[in-house]
């Protein structure tokens, strides 16, 4: 089974600054999708950003961008101009393109935004 590792249980960032959350994964597949989800205290998981493995270009969504290094199996999330509303648990997730709809999640990074 694929494994997803988030090595930073907790991170903090000053409001308006930039923070990078790390994620690595282990797979023998060449075609897959990677996701970052945010889970605020309301508990609902919210999709932040998505990356297809076959695309070399890094995905961006407004203040959120990724650094996808396929050979290194690394998928980090950069949050620019951090806002108080960004405070949440962030989960990295992997989905195979070929073997069903199951997502494999990392253990999460708790992000605190300091005013």
Partner 1 sequence: KAGVTQTPRYLIKTRGQQVTLSCSPISGHRSVSWYQQTPGQGLQFLFEYFSETQRNKGNFPGRFSGRQFSNSRSEMNVSTLELGDSALYLCASSLVGGATYGYTFGSGTRLTVV
Which span (7-15, 37-45, 60-68, 75-83) binds partner 1, by CB under 8 A? 37-45
Least distance (Å) from partner 1 to the CB of residue 15? 27
Which span (22-30, 58-66, 68-76, 100-108) binds partner 1, by CB under 8 A? 100-108
Pick from 8, 22, 27, 33: which binds partner 1 (CB under 8 A)? Answer: 33
Q: How far is CA 113 from the centre of its chain?
A: 17
Q: CA-to-CA distance for 70 and 81, rounded, in angstroms?
A: 26
Which of 72, 80, 81 is closest to 53 using CA atoms?
72
Q: CA-to-CA distance for 60 and 52, rounded, in angstroms?
A: 12
- 47 near partner 1 (CB under 8 A): yes
- 98 near partner 1 (CB under 8 A): no
Q: Which burial class, exposed, middle or buried, applies to 42 when counting CB atoms under 10 A from its CB (0-12, 13-18, 19+)?
A: exposed
Which span (9-17, 54-62, 73-81, 106-114) binds partner 1, by CB under 8 A? 106-114
């Amino acid at each position: 089974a694929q494994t997803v590792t988030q090595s930073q249980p907790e991170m903090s960032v000053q409001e308006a600054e930039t923070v990078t959350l790390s994620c690595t994964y282990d797979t023998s597949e060449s075609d897959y999708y990677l996701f970052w989800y945010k889970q605020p205290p309301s508990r609902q998981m919210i999709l932040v950003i998505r990356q297809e493995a076959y695309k070399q270009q890094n995905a961006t969504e407004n203040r959120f961008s990724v650094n996808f290094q396929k050979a290194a199996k690394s998928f980090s999330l950069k949050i620019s101009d951090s806002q108080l509303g960004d405070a949440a648990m962030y989960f990295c997730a992997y989905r195979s393109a070929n073997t069903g709809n199951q997502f494999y999640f990392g253990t999460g990074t708790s992000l605190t935004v300091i005013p």
